[in-house]
Amino acid sequence: DGGITQSPKYLFRKEGQNVTLSCEQNLNHDAMYWYRQDPGQGLRLIYYSQIVNDFQKGDIAEGYSVSREKKESFPLTVTSAQKNPTAFYLCASSMKEGARAGAFFGQGTRLTVV
Amino acid sequence: AQTVTQSQPEMSVQEAETVTLSCTYDTSESNYYLFWYKQPPSRQMILVIRQEAYKQQNATENRFSVNFQKAAKSFSLKISDSQLGDTAMYFCAFMIYGNQFYFGTGTSLTVIP
């Protein structure tokens, strides 16, 4: 079945560590997105990518980094520079030419700083 | 700047009744797409309904329908015959072609038995 897979579902990070969240899709979608979700703040865009080897910062990119070496994969690294990383992270993808279909989401990763 | 506003943080409705969730947005673009997403306690985002801005006819999907007022930049969601499984967070969103999705802050809907 086609879809988006995020892993791990739960992730714990120690202070000062970098961690990488995985996002893989087999929908042949061109565009991929990373969102952060905090209570009462909805979904805030961290980074997005429309094509391989290209990505743009979203509203809250500071302390995060991404890569898009393959169409199917869009990993997100939460660096030690992100001062408050505890949150729920959602990855999504969409067709570049068919935005009317909307974005498809993974099941999310819950990151907790310990 | 593109913004989406959901002015109702929380709502409740009796089972089998009808409820309307409000959404307004701001954009200078004329061609865009509008969406309502549902996020149940599992936190999986599910597309409920979508509307293309150039279409005047309001979209419907079974018990879900929208009231799209382009001039007023309003995009409300009506849920008829509410069911317990409709309990969730609902997010309004829009997308300009070739650009990112913009989401509102969500409305938490509780269906009361």
Question: Residues A13, B77: contact at Cβ < 8 Å?
Answer: no
Q: pLDDT tens digits for A26-66?
A: 999 999 999 999 987 789 999 999 999 999 999 999 999 99
Chain B residues with CB-CB distance to A50 below 8 A: 98
Q: How far apart are CA B95 and CA B82, in angstroms?
A: 28
> Residue B40 — left, alpha, or beta (φ > 0 → left; ψ -120 to 50 → alpha)?
beta
A43, A66, A74: best to mutate for the B interface, most B CBs within 10 A: A43
Residue of B nearest to A98 (CA): B97
Nearest CB to A102; choose among B44, B50, B98: B50
Q: Phi and psi dihedrals of B99, rounded to 5?
A: -125, -170
- Greater model confidence, B38 or A99: B38
pLDDT computed for residue B101 by the predictor: 87
CA A112 to chain centre: 16
Residue B107 corresponds to which tokens in the numbers above? 């409305």
Residue A17 or B64, more confident = B64
